[in-house]
Amino acid sequence: MRSPDQLTVAFRNAGLKVTPQRQLLFRLLHNNSAHPTAESLFVAASAEMPGISLRTVYQTLTDLTDMGELQSIDFGTGASHFDPNVAHHHHAVCDSCGAIHDVYVEEAPRLTGLDGFSVEHSHIVYRGTCAACA
């Protein structure tokens, strides 16, 4: 995801307006590697801007995702997680504390034995126990 300043420009160029709510979320998401949920962002945003609505958080997350600034990932934990890192990468999820870490591997194994399936994308999820929990 680009910086708050760059997003400000990008939003205006797209005919979207730049509100204090959106600027706050730009800041909360920029360089955020925690893979937050809408709810956790809502809590963080509410601390700085009491009264911001959860609906607005969802709306802005959808906008950013549609613009390709954010990716939404479902780890089967109930809620979707949002990731400002839109480069191709994988994830390690701690079964104990729920922490999600970015993982870079050279290449996912080639798909064999499924004749005719053309792979467009692959995502590896590692599960186990993180260093802090061990």
Binding site for its own copies (CB under 8 A): 73-76, 80, 92, 94-95, 101, 103-132, 134
CA distances from 11 to 39, 56, 81, 87, 103 (A): 23, 16, 22, 21, 30
Residues 62-91 that bind Mn ion (CB under 5 A): 83, 85
Cβ 58 to DNA shortest distance, Å: 4
| Residue 130 interacting partner from Zn ion, Mn ion, DNA, none (CB closer than 5 to 8 Å by kind) | Zn ion
| Residue 53 interacting partner from Mn ion, DNA, its own copies, none (CB closer than 5 to 8 Å by kind) | DNA
Cβ–Cβ under 8 Å, residues 75 and 81: yes
Residue with tokens 């809502």: 42
| Residue 39 interacting partner from DNA, its own copies, Zn ion, none (CB closer than 5 to 8 Å by kind) | DNA
Position among 97, 105, 108, 124 found at the interface with Zn ion (CB under 5 A) = 97
Question: Which of these, 61, 73, 68, lies nearest to 25 by C-alpha position?
Answer: 61
Half-sphere exposure of 45 (CA within 13 A, CB side): 27
| Residue 54 interacting partner from DNA, its own copies, Zn ion, none (CB closer than 5 to 8 Å by kind) | DNA
List Cβ<8 Å contacts ≥24 apart for 52-58. Answer: 52/21, 52/24, 56/21, 57/25
Cβ 83 to Mn ion shortest distance, Å: 4
**Per-position x/- string for 99-128, each x denoting binding to Mn ion as judged by CB under 5 A, each - no binding:** ---x--------------------------
Question: Which of these, 88, 90, 101, lies nearest to 129 by C-alpha position?
Answer: 101
For position 133 contacting Zn ion by CB under 5 A, the verdict is yes
